[in-house]
Amino acid sequence: MSSSRKILKNIFSLSVAEAANKGIVFITTAYLARVILPEGFGVLNFANSILLYFLLVVNLGFNIVGIRETAKNPDKVKKYADQITTYRLILAIFSCVAMVIFAVLIDKPFEVKLVIIISGVNLFSQAIMMDWVYQGTEKMGILAIRQVLTSSLNLIGVLFLVKTASDVVTAMIITVISTLLNAIWMLALYNKIYGKLRLYIDKSMMKELLTSSIPIMFSSFFITIYNSLNIIMLGFMKSDAETGIYAAAFRFVGLVIAPSYILNLAFFPHVSRAQSIDEKRNALRNYSKAIFYVGTFLSFLFFTFSSFFITFAFGSNYTDSIIVLQVLMLTVLIMYMNTAYYPPLVAWKKEKIVMYAIGAGAIVNIILNFILIPKYGAVGAAWSTVVSEFMVFLGLVRIIKNEINITFLLTLLKGIAISAISCLGGYGLNHYFKIHEIISSIASFILFGGFIFLFKITSVEEIKGYIRK
């Protein structure tokens, strides 16, 4: 099968699963937010944000290195899986102990401490998670099933067991059990396909893995700062309710950014195999075009109809989340811009210099959080992320320019212009003609698709050509 057809097949498999998964997650989140109210929702997201930092230690960048190396050397899948799982289980033990100590020592109510400790089970689930193996070997169907299974188990548990605002602990227990069951299933499937997993340490491979994984881990740490430090700092500096207000808006970030995850999974093995300058340019041209156009349209769409999306999903208790969501959609736009460059640079083993760019943005984020959160709360936290993400973008543009001497920024500008006009048309229908937001959103999408074909950004013949290849 040609690389272009394989990419399209992977995108299709992941898109169907991601649509189902995000739909299920959306229902789960909306139900939880309404039942446990902003205070409980804030506690749950505060705990999950803390968990992310301990998960970084468990992952240690091994997942990205594993994807990259198994894409290049599929015959070494089992050796990489044995080593990476061994190291991650060892790290999970130390991380879990550290997480319990942290939870005990922080100045928070007992319920918050308990929720944090329970979430630590996810450290071991992540240690044995084999998603990176299936991504590197381009078995995207397995990843698709995994996503839907986890979210479905979570939804069923939440609907049956979470009934009142006091069920925050129950909600976390349901999450960790569904994730653990899914990880065990993926491990059992791995054993069936590749043979039984062996836990042992190979010192020479350890050095090879750590050389690449540690810079990636630091980059992931800085990215996690953008995604979760705001919630943690709001949890310490503001009320649980305001933390919940921010967390509700931030949930849409995960929803809107999901297509970039699909595109990254589908393109990454192909991009990893690009060696010459021409191969890298061609790979980035196709990948960045998809990322830029999808990202600009979705971020503009959710910005335009932010009021509808918040009230529809979370209800009247979360109206303060509307302005936060609008600011965060600017963040999402820049996140897509960064996603166009970050994965390819890592695929081409530029993780160390990328780490510096992302680290600089993280430092800006921390400083701005300390300045803006005390005075502006959730809105200030959102603006700190916008500025820090843009700082990273400037750094990545410079790195990609040095690497292949082209950035495809004209494609980005075209995407911004087309998306803005399309969403402005939808806004006009809603604002002046009182057309319902859902119909207006669909109209924006139709306008966007029309512009794509009108300006020959893609064509029916091109799509058919990809399918035939």
Burial class (CB in 10 A: 0-12, 13-18, 19+), 252: buried
Does residue 281 sit within a domain? yes
Q: How far apart are CA 150 and CA 143, in angstroms?
A: 11
Q: Which residue has 């007992």 as its token pair?
A: 110
Give the closest residue to 228 by CA, choosing from 53, 364, 380: 53
What's the CA dihedral at 23, 28, 30, 34 to 10 degrees? 170
Does residue 378 sit within a domain? yes
Q: Residue 266: which H helix or E strand, with range?
A: helix 240-272
Q: Rounded mean pLDDT of 380-404?
A: 95
What is the domain extent for residue 122?
A: 3-407
Q: Which amino acid is at 183?
A: A
Does residue 459 sit within a domain? no
**CA atoms in the 13 A half-sphere facing the CB of 356:** 6
- Note the pLDDT of residue 99: 96
Does residue 343 sit within a domain? yes
- Note the pLDDT of residue 191: 92
Contact in structure between 234 and 373 (CB atoms under 8 Å) = yes
Does residue 72 sit within a domain? yes
Q: Which tokens sit at 309?
A: 């999306």
Dmax over CA atoms of the chain, in Å, equals 68
Q: How far apart are CA 378 and CA 246, in angstroms?
A: 5
The model's confidence at residue 466, banded by pLDDT at 50, 70 and 90, is very low
Does residue 224 sit within a domain? yes
Contact in structure between 36 and 171 (CB atoms under 8 Å) = yes
Q: How many domains does the chain have?
A: 1
Backbone angles phi, psi at 383, to 5 degrees: -65, -35
Q: Residue 224: which H helix or E strand, with range?
A: helix 203-224
pLDDT digits (tens, 9 = 90+) for 420-454: 999 999 999 999 999 999 999 999 999 999 999 88
pLDDT digits (tens, 9 = 90+) for 288-319: 999 999 999 999 999 999 999 999 999 888 99
Given a cut of 60, whether residue 464 has pLDDT beyond it is no
Give the closest residue to 220 by CA, choosing from 62, 384, 399: 62
Given a cut of 90, whether residue 371 has pLDDT beyond it is yes
Given a cut of 90, whether residue 13 has pLDDT beyond it is no
Contact in structure between 33 and 41 (CB atoms under 8 Å) = yes
Q: Which tokens sit at 380?
A: 């200030």
Q: Rounded mean pLDDT of 27-38?
A: 92
- Note the pLDDT of residue 4: 59
Give the closest residue to 269 by CA, choosing from 393, 153, 456, 143: 143
Q: Which tokens sit at 369?
A: 């959080």
Contact in structure between 170 and 161 (CB atoms under 8 Å) = yes
Does residue 439 sit within a domain? no
CA 147 to chain centre: 13
pLDDT digits (tens, 9 = 90+) for 213-251: 888 888 888 878 777 888 999 999 998 899 999 999 998
pLDDT digits (tens, 9 = 90+) for 346-366: 889 888 898 899 889 999 999
Give the closest residue to 331 by CA, choosing from 259, 414, 254, 423: 254
**CA atoms in the 13 A half-sphere facing the CB of 314:** 26
Q: Rounded mean pLDDT of 4-16?
A: 61
pTM for this entry: 0.77
Residues in the chain: 469
Burial class (CB in 10 A: 0-12, 13-18, 19+), 175: buried
Opening angle at CA 341, ends 17 and 423, nearest 5: 65
Q: Which tokens sit at 258?
A: 């999901």
Opening angle at CA 71, ends 65 and 75, nearest 5: 105
According to DSSP, residue 318 is labeled G
pLDDT digits (tens, 9 = 90+) for 75-96: 888 998 999 999 999 999 999 9
pLDDT digits (tens, 9 = 90+) for 155-166: 999 999 999 999
Given a cut of 50, whether residue 27 has pLDDT beyond it is yes
Give the closest residue to 443 by CA, choosing from 451, 411, 412: 451
Does residue 220 sit within a domain? yes
The model's confidence at residue 62, banded by pLDDT at 50, 70 and 90, is confident
Q: Which tokens sit at 126?
A: 């992540």
